[in-house]
Amino acid sequence: MTKKGQHVVPNQGKWSVRKEGASRASGTYKTQAEAIAAGANIAKNQRSELYIHGKDGRIRERNSYGNDPHSSKG
Protein backbone atom coordinates (compact mmCIF):
# COMPACT_ATOMS: atom_id res chain seq x y z
CA MET A 1 0.00 0.00 0.00
CA THR A 2 1.35 3.40 -0.98
CA LYS A 3 1.41 6.09 1.65
CA LYS A 4 -0.03 9.37 0.41
CA GLY A 5 2.23 12.36 0.78
CA GLN A 6 2.57 16.00 -0.21
CA HIS A 7 4.77 17.00 -3.14
CA VAL A 8 6.38 20.42 -3.69
CA VAL A 9 6.65 20.69 -7.48
CA PRO A 10 7.56 23.36 -10.04
CA ASN A 11 4.52 24.82 -11.80
CA GLN A 12 4.88 27.39 -14.60
CA GLY A 13 7.56 29.48 -12.89
CA LYS A 14 6.02 29.07 -9.45
CA TRP A 15 5.86 26.24 -6.89
CA SER A 16 2.84 24.14 -5.99
CA VAL A 17 1.97 21.76 -3.18
CA ARG A 18 0.09 18.75 -4.49
CA LYS A 19 -1.18 15.67 -2.69
CA GLU A 20 0.05 12.45 -4.25
CA GLY A 21 -2.45 11.33 -6.87
CA ALA A 22 -4.39 14.64 -6.90
CA SER A 23 -5.07 16.42 -10.16
CA ARG A 24 -5.14 19.88 -8.57
CA ALA A 25 -2.68 21.63 -6.29
CA SER A 26 -3.45 22.43 -2.66
CA GLY A 27 -1.75 25.78 -3.20
CA THR A 28 0.65 27.65 -5.48
CA TYR A 29 3.42 29.93 -4.20
CA LYS A 30 5.96 32.39 -5.61
CA THR A 31 8.96 30.67 -4.02
CA GLN A 32 9.95 27.13 -3.29
CA ALA A 33 10.57 28.07 0.36
CA GLU A 34 6.95 29.23 0.76
CA ALA A 35 5.69 26.01 -0.84
CA ILE A 36 7.93 23.89 1.41
CA ALA A 37 6.61 25.66 4.52
CA ALA A 38 2.99 25.14 3.43
CA GLY A 39 3.63 21.53 2.40
CA ALA A 40 5.38 20.76 5.69
CA ASN A 41 2.41 22.14 7.62
CA ILE A 42 -0.01 19.93 5.68
CA ALA A 43 2.25 16.88 6.02
CA LYS A 44 2.54 17.43 9.79
CA ASN A 45 -1.23 17.67 10.15
CA GLN A 46 -1.75 14.53 8.05
CA ARG A 47 1.24 12.71 9.57
CA SER A 48 2.56 11.96 6.09
CA GLU A 49 5.62 12.48 3.92
CA LEU A 50 6.79 15.68 2.21
CA TYR A 51 8.59 15.24 -1.11
CA ILE A 52 10.52 18.26 -2.37
CA HIS A 53 11.21 18.28 -6.10
CA GLY A 54 13.87 20.36 -7.83
CA LYS A 55 13.37 22.56 -10.90
CA ASP A 56 13.97 19.46 -13.04
CA GLY A 57 11.00 17.72 -11.40
CA ARG A 58 13.11 15.05 -9.68
CA ILE A 59 12.77 14.46 -5.93
CA ARG A 60 15.73 16.09 -4.17
CA GLU A 61 14.64 15.79 -0.55
CA ARG A 62 12.11 13.89 1.57
CA ASN A 63 10.87 14.58 5.08
CA SER A 64 8.73 12.30 7.21
CA TYR A 65 6.13 13.73 9.57
CA GLY A 66 4.29 10.49 10.23
CA ASN A 67 5.07 7.05 11.54
CA ASP A 68 8.68 6.80 10.44
CA PRO A 69 9.69 3.13 10.31
CA HIS A 70 13.33 4.15 10.93
CA SER A 71 12.74 6.14 14.09
CA SER A 72 13.92 4.60 17.33
CA LYS A 73 11.29 4.13 19.98
CA GLY A 74 12.47 2.94 23.31
* 68 — pLDDT class (breaks 50, 70, 90): low
**Quick check: is 26 in a domain?**
yes
What total number of domains does the chain contain?
1
**Quick check: is 53 in a domain?**
yes
What pLDDT, on a 0 to 100 scale, did the predictor assign at position 2? 44
What pLDDT, on a 0 to 100 scale, did the predictor assign at position 4? 80
**Quick check: is 73 in a domain?**
no
* 56 — pLDDT class (breaks 50, 70, 90): very high
- For the stretch 8-50, pLDDT in tens is 999 999 999 999 999 999 999 999 999 999 999 999 999 999 9
- Gap between the Cα atoms of 68 and 48, Å rounded: 9
What pLDDT, on a 0 to 100 scale, did the predictor assign at position 1? 27
